[in-house]
Structure formats: C-alpha cells, structure tokens
Structure 1
Amino acid sequence: MANKYVNFVSDEHLLECVKNLHNSYLKAKNNISKKNFYSNKVDTIKLTFDSKFNNIEEEDLIQAEILRQIDKSINNSIGTFHEQVLGGIEGYEIGNLSGFDIKATNDTLFADIKNKHNTMNSSSSEALFQKLARYADTYKNAKCYWVQILAKGSFNESWKGDINGKEYSHSRVFKISGDQFYALLSDQEDALLELYKALPLVISDHLKSIERGDLIKENSALEEITSETEKSNRSILDQITFENYSYYLGFDKL
C-alpha cells in the first residue's frame, strides 16, 4: 500500500519524527520560567528602545522576547528533526552522539547536518572539516558531507578552501545543500519538496492523535513578572531591570 505522506520513509517513522519535534516545542515553552528567562540577562535598554521606537506595549514586547528565546532553543531541534527523518531512509541511520549525524549502514557515507548555512564560525568550520576528513581517511570508500539544510544555493561539491588561514581540501569531503542531500539519500530528486508539502497533513494527524489538554502548557515567565509588578507598582520593564540589575549603582532604587 502506498505511503500517505512521503515515498522515502514510512508514515509511522515520519509521525514519530513530528511527535519528537512537537515534544521539543512543548519542553521549550515549559522551560521559560522567570528564572530561565533571566538566565542570560535581559537587555532592558534595548527593549526600551524597541518599545518606544516600534510602538509596542511592554507586555507584548516581553512576550515577543520570550518567543525569541523559545525559537533559539527550537532551531537545534529542527536540525534533529531532519536527522531523524533522514535516518529513517533504508540503508541509513542516525549517529546517536557518535560523532556524526547520519551514516550509511555500509560505511560509505558520513554526514554532519546543520540546519542553516551560517551557523558556524571559522573555528567550528575548521573543526568540522578535520572531523569529516578523519572519517574519510578511516573509511576509504566513504564520502563525507557537510549538509546545509537551508543553503544559499543548490549544490553538491567538494569542500575546499581557506579556513582560518589554512588551505583545506580532501577528495572525499563535500558540502551539500539540503535538497541535494535528501535527493542523494532517497534517490528521489524532489524528496525535500515532498516532505515540505506533506508537513501540514502530518502535523494535523499528529495533533489529532493527542489529548487536547496535553497540547500546550504555556511558559510562566510573563505571569511571574506581572505578578511582581502588582506588588511593586513598577512597570514591566522596570521590574525586569530591577530583578536583573539591582546590584548596579542606584538601580536598587527603581
């Protein structure tokens, strides 16, 4: 019987991948308590400019900042989603913290997957090239890939060039865009497009399968902060500033 969603992985596998990603979203939302929201120090000077110059109410501004923190956490989970989907293609498997993200079961391919092309600085690029080159040297029949799911073009080419002032090249180390990597593993040219078009249906089917009461537990940060403003009579931004910087000269008087 034909698959309901995509041709290159089973319906059950794709639903499981979506379920895992949804759980990451829920965890990210639940993790934004006031304590976690403050963990990296909130830039309330920037938020003041944002509020005034963009004409945004303070409560809406803080909610947007909370969503930005959630989004930052989710970006890593999106990369994991692609690893899990690709690991469900016959002949391939995920690394499970083994140093690679995807490999061929016959050791002819190793890959490190980045969701976006610009997530690495020069030092991490150099470290990644060296790691892929070691796999290529160890497994003489293997091609090794730096995969950019969201790339600036469509390509599958040798990865060579100047990194940190050193010239790097290897006959079996490549860089490849997301569409080309999905096509390579699935033997289906439009595999990534097929996944994209299937996602609304897969997500809808997943959400229908779970209890509505368990669907979303909202973060508590904004509620905790506004609760404090009721006691202190401070504005939301003043409350956040006080709680983050009361040890600065004069800030304890806010």
Structure 2
Amino acid sequence: MANTYLNFITDEHLLKCIASLHRSYVKTKNDINKPKFYNNKIDTIKLTFDSKFNGIDQEELIDAELLRQIDKSINNFIGTFHEDILGGVVGYEKGNLSGFDIKATDNTLFADIKNKHNTMNSSSAESLFQKLSNYADRYRNEQAKCYWAQILAKGSFNEKWKAIINGKEYSHSRVFKISGDQFYALVTQQSDALFQLYKVLPQAIENYMHTAVQVQNVQEHSAVSHIKSQAEVSGRTILDQITLDNFGYYLGFGRL
C-alpha cells in the first residue's frame, strides 16, 4: 500500500493502528456499566455549571465525563498506539508481551514506552531501570542501547538515565531516557517524525471513520447510552436522570 500519509510506515499500517485504538476506546466505554459509572457519585451540580458556563450540550458533557473516568485506560491505549506505530517501521518490531515495548530486529535497541513522563512511582522506576539494564547486559555483544521513552516529556532530550531511586543510585552506560520526539527521530531516522504523525492524524482518522475499515458494526452500548435511553423514556433531561439515580434518596430529589 502506498505511503500517502507518512513515508516511514505504510498507509495500511497507520490505518490499522487507528482502527485498533478505536476498538479499545469503544470496548472500554462499553465495559463501564451504570454501577461503575456512578461509583464515585456524579457531581451534577458541577456539571450544570459546566454546561451553562461553557455552553456545552448535556449529551456532550456526559460523554466527556465518561472519557474523564476512563482517562487512565485511554492513556495506556495511546502508549500502545505509539508502540504499534513504531513497530511498523522497517527494522523494528513490537514486543507483544515479551518484556519490552519495541526493539530493533538486530537487537541493538530495546525500549519501554510511556505515554506520560510522570506515570511511574519510585518502585516502578526502579523496576524499569533494572529491566532495561538486563537487556543491555544480555545483548552486550550487539552493544544494545535501551531506552525509557516518554512520549509526553518535559523537554526534548536523549541522555543517559542516571537517577537516585529509593535511596540507591542507578546508572548504566547503555541505558537512556529519551523524549517522544527524539525517540521517533531515532527509530525513523527523520528528525520531525512525531510532528509528521501529528499533522496527518486528523485526516487519517477522518478517512478511517468513513471507510470500510471500521465497518464492523461496532456499536457503543456504554452506561451513558443506557442513561440517555432512560432519560428519553422518563422525559427527564440527562442531568436530571443522573441526579435522580445518584441522589434520589436526598430530600426533595425524588420529585425529579
């Protein structure tokens, strides 16, 4: 398939990665039932202000609340998306539960990709450093370089990862931390590769949504769609329906 979007991966691979991410979005939304959605009580007074002050339609507001609740899962999906994308670059492959996220097929590079720089606690950081060090030592003949890649990093960098974690100093001659832009540049050998991806995504996603790639009758049946249906039957607004579901036992709220 031609490279009309990016020249470091095929159009087919890019659209496949988008399709996989879309399925993950839909599945996660559909996995949230009403009890899960209401688990921490929906602040419908705040949502009322959000709706009125920001001019947001109630349906859009509730969809946004659902996305907020599943934000952690979505961040994980975005990290997987970057793994999928880079796994399609010639000379690289995705780990697929092998202990690394991406590696060079000649074993000269191994990486763990995090979507955000601040998603690890000290124990996770210690474990990751040890894992990367083990790969560097295991493939010393290949002079393997091992990376903690941070897609959303505070700065643009590619440097040795030296850190004090839980009171212990860690360093290795071939263990690095690297920002998302520089990691994309390293893998693709194109300095602006991540920017190129950013620029083509809107059109690629739109094309995906209008092609047979996503015609798998993927329907969204999340808690929110169920609530919307209840509101239509009862004649309540969506916010009133959620308020009744969450606070029907409060004085006066049963009259909604």
TM-score normalized by structure 1?
0.82
CA distance in 2, matches of 1:66, 1:192: 28
Give identity over the alignment, percent.
58
CA distance in 2, matches of 1:109, 1:211: 32
For 1:13-28, what aligned pairs fall within 5 Å after superposition?
Answer: 13-28=13-28
Q: 8 Å contact 1:48–1:237 — kept in the other structure? A: no
Match of 2:246 among 224, 241, 246: 241
1:67-105, Cα deviation, whole Å (9 max, x unpaired): 212433222111111001101111110000011000111
1:19–1:54 CA distance, 2 compared to 1 (3 A): closer
The Cα shift of 1:174 comes to 0.2
CA distance in 2, matches of 1:49, 1:75: 25
SS of the equivalent of 1:145 reads: strand
1:208 aligns with 210
2:104 aligns with 104
Gaps of 5+ in 2: none
The Cα shift of 1:221 comes to 1.8
Match of 1:158 among 160, 177, 180: 160
Residue 148 in structure 1 maps to residue 150 in structure 2: yes
Residue 191 in structure 1 maps to residue 193 in structure 2: yes
Letter paired with 1:180 = Q
The Cα shift of 1:223 comes to 4.9
Letter paired with 1:98 = S
**Bigger mean CA deviation after superposition, 175-184 or 209-218:** 209-218
CA distance in 2, matches of 1:192, 1:211: 24
2:182 aligns with 180
Alignment length (residue pairs) = 245
Letter paired with 2:79 = G
Q: 8 Å contact 2:135–2:146 — kept in the other structure? A: yes
CA distance in 2, matches of 1:42, 1:102: 37
Gaps of 5+ in 1: none
The Cα shift of 1:216 comes to 6.0
1:116 aligns with 116
For 1:56-95, what aligned pairs fall within 5 Å after superposition?
Answer: 62-95=62-95
1:88–1:211 CA distance, 2 compared to 1 (3 A): closer
SS of the equivalent of 1:115 reads: strand
1:164-223, Cα deviation, whole Å (9 max, x unpaired): 211111111100001101110111111111111111222122122138875763344235
RMSD: 3.2
Q: 8 Å contact 1:108–1:143 — kept in the other structure? A: yes
The Cα shift of 1:108 comes to 0.9
1:223–1:148 CA distance, 2 compared to 1 (3 A): closer
Q: 8 Å contact 2:208–2:214 — kept in the other structure? A: no
1:188–1:34 CA distance, 2 compared to 1 (3 A): same
Residue 218 in structure 1 maps to residue 248 in structure 2: no
Q: 8 Å contact 1:42–1:240 — kept in the other structure? A: no
TM-score normalized by structure 2?
0.81
For 1:131-146, what aligned pairs fall within 5 Å after superposition?
Answer: 131-140=131-140, 141-146=143-148
